[in-house]
Structure 1
Amino acid sequence: MSRLALTTVICFAASISTPAAATLPAPVKAMIDAAIASGNEQDVLAIVKIAKATNPDDLAEIDTLMADYNVKQAKKAEAAILKKQEAGLFENWEGQGELGGFRSTGNTNNMGITGSVKLVKDAVKWRMNFKARADYERNKGITTRDQLNATIEPNYKFDKRLYAYGLAQFERDRLQGFSARYTLSGGLGYELVKTGDIRLAIKAGPAIRITDFAEGDTKSSLAALVGVDFDWKISDHLKFSQDAGGTYASDAQGFTSAVAVFDSDNTTFTATSALDAKLIGSLSTRLSYTIEHETNPKVGRAKTDTLSRASLVYDF
């Protein structure tokens, strides 16, 4: 046998005995690519974990895909921070507009209309929140509910979880006995849980309240404000939220949609649960239920009111 023929045989035998490099199956790679395209980090990690467990010979290729994904995520995060830093006062605002109807029970048993607006500007170190809500109903030519609430709340972020807040709030509810009430508060907030799907935050601090009663007199009081905010993204199309809070004051009266007031004469509590379902694009439908309770209301008033709302919500 010639040398050339012998060399050819040896090379052929070596090629048979040496295994080819593993290649990630196309369906598995397509599954990982789809998870990455969805933008949901938890889905990506879950799919990659399964892919590694079922394809142990392809770990290097899977790790390469994840490395590329992590680099792109880091660049995206840097771009988002830069955009926040360069944004002007009227840029990077997000919000919601809500319009619908409600049914009340307790002091009134009627149907009414409800509307609200919510705006948020999230910067690197600062966050600005603004929200306003109005509920209105009439029965037999008589106004039975006329509530207005507006709140502005700036936050300063110490880190990813701890922040300081300031709060200025205006309320009007003549049927509860006051034509205007102003609340100023400041304190600390902390996000106990902060993931892609769940957020649980609490805040607390001292407060000052000035109330203009319908009879014409004015009253000021010192208080302590406590708030809780819970949001749960059940799926891409369904979200649950629970808002409640508390304010302790020695002589405070009345309440708003997310404030409870505790004192020796009267305790007031409010809690709102809401379920949002995506309809199409930026449009959602919202079902919410609010409980408003006073342990010692004014003479002639029921202790508990409820508001069942059904509305359309537009994100912008």
Structure 2
Amino acid sequence: MQYHDHQTHRPSSTKACVALLFPALIVARSLNAADTEPSFPKWKGAAELGSIRTTGNTNTSSINATLNLKRKARVWDLVLNLDALTSKEDDVTSKERYKGTLDLNRKFTRHHYLATTLSYEFDRFSGYDYQTLYSIGYGYRLINNRRHYLDAEIGPGYRYDQREDNSGAEEETVLRLAGKYFWKIQKGVEFDQMLSVNTGSQKTTWRSESSLKSRINGSLATKISYHWDYTDTVPVDSKHTNSEFGVTLVYNF
């Protein structure tokens, strides 16, 4: 009678564990390296569209469209925002505005950066053909973690506004103060707040933008926003205060 020693054909348990764990350790190390050393630059964007139509005593329709692009890098961060708003009441245009803003920031440390802003706005009912602003200043990130960040900016700027009545242009140097706050309330829910003041010898403007975005699924989200701006000196027949409340559908990419 012959006895077969099956253990002689069984691989060592230590060697088997090493053979299984070695590839896993390599993958884990590569993933950890990717987390600690992210690849730059990083691009992301969002396209928004909102439309409202009412019928009855008055027929009103409005369209609000926004495109936002962000580029994050080791040194330079870029944010481009394009916005369009049109509204009609009984087939007569009551609002028409197009605006573009470019923010370019040069980071020095985790908290200190150089803040540059360029904006152009055409508002058919503002009393101006167009309004432009360029500013450069110092920025400081007061809060910087995964769920919150708070930025404060200050610096000089130059404002050039072309009047609609052919009475010339308004141009002056201004002092720009701005604050930006972001709060990730929970997964898929984000709050944004921006407040800026541009003050000069001819006029002072205030602007506030608040928004709450909630993800529906995948790349789609809904956004509720409130915009408010105030100008202390305006052309004749123009309003000092403007406000907008909007609900839009957002596609993130």
TM-score for the superposition, normalised by structure 2: 0.79
Q: Which amino acid aligns with 1:308?
A: F
> Residue 269 of structure 1: CA displacement?
2.4
Note the C-alpha offset of 1:306: 2.1
Q: Structure 1: how far apart are the matches of 2:213 and 2:170?
A: 39
Q: CA deviation at 1:228?
A: 0.9
Q: Which amino acid aligns with 1:193?
A: I
**For the Cα contact (< 8 Å) 2:127–2:235, is it kept in 1?**
no
Deviation track 1:43-71 (CA, whole Å, cap 9, x = no partner) reads: xxxxxxxxxxxxxxxxxxxxxxxxxxx97
Q: Give, in whole Å, the separation in 2 of the partners of 1:275 and 1:269.
A: 21
SS at structure 1 position matched to 2:146:
coil
User: Match for residue 305 of structure 1?
Assistant: 242
1:201 aligns with 2:201: no
1:141 to 78, 91, 94: 91
Higher helix share: 1
What is the CA-CA distance between 1:296 and the residue it aligns to? 5.3
Q: Is the 8 A contact 1:102 1:308 kept in 2?
A: no
The whole-number CA distance in structure 1 between the counterparts of 2:165 and 2:237 is 17
Counterpart for residue 97 of structure 1: 47
Q: CA deviation at 1:124?
A: 0.6
Change (3 A) 1:205 1:93: same
Partner of 1:279: 216
Matched, 1:315 2:252: yes
Per the alignment, residue 121 of structure 1 pairs with 71
Matched residues in 2 for 1:165 and 1:280: separation? 34
- One-letter amino acid matched to 1:200: L
Corresponding residue of 1:189: 139
Q: Find the aligned partners of 2:52 and 2:186 in 1 and give their Cα distance.
A: 26
Check the 8 A contact 2:103/2:116 in 1, yes or no.
Answer: yes
**Which of 1 and 2 has greater Rg?**
1
* Structure 1 position 290 matched with structure 2 position 227: yes
Percentage of pairs with the same residue: 23
**Alpha-carbon distance change, 273 to 296 in structure 1, aligned in 2, over 3 angstroms:** same
How far off is 1:145 after superposition?
1.0
Partner of 1:229: 180
Q: Deviations over 1:9-64 (max 9, x none)?
A: xxxxxxxxxxxxxxxxxxxxxxxxxxxxxxxxxxxxxxxxxxxxxxxxxxxxxxxx
Separation in 2 of the partners of 1:188 and 1:74? 34
SS at 1:245 equivalent? strand
- Please give the secondary structure, in 1, of the residue aligned with 2:114: strand
8 A contact 1:102–1:307 mirrored in 2: no
1:17-56 alignment, distance < 5 Å = none
Matched, 1:76 2:34: yes
Task: Pick one of 225, 228, 238 that aligns with 2:189.
Answer: 238
Give the TM-score, by structure 1 length: 0.64
> Which 4+ residue blocks in structure 1 deviate beyond 6 angstroms?
70-73
Structure 2: where are the runs of 5+ without partners? 1-27, 54-59
TM superposition shift of 1:78: 4.0
Q: 1:140 Cα shift?
A: 2.3
User: Is the 8 Å Cα contact of residues 102 and 309 (structure 1) preserved in structure 2?
Assistant: no
Amino acid at match of 1:229: K
Give, in whole Å, the separation in 2 of the partners of 1:158 and 1:128. Answer: 15
Aligned to 1:75, what secondary structure does the other structure show?
helix
Q: CA RMSD in A?
A: 2.3
User: In 2 relative to 1, CA 102–309 (structure 1 residues): closer, same or farther, beyond 3 Å?
Assistant: farther
More strand by share: 2
User: 1:298: how far off?
Assistant: 4.5
CA distance in 2, matches of 1:102, 1:196: 35
Q: Which runs of 5+ in 1 are unaligned?
A: 1-69, 104-109, 253-261, 263-267
Say if 1:164 and 1:111 are closer, same or farther in 2 by CA, change over 3 A: same
Q: Aligned partners of 2:185, 2:75: CA distance in 1, in Å?
A: 28
1:272-314, Cα deviation, whole Å (9 max, x unpaired): 2111111010110001112233455555445433211000111
Residues 1:162 and 2:112 aligned together: yes
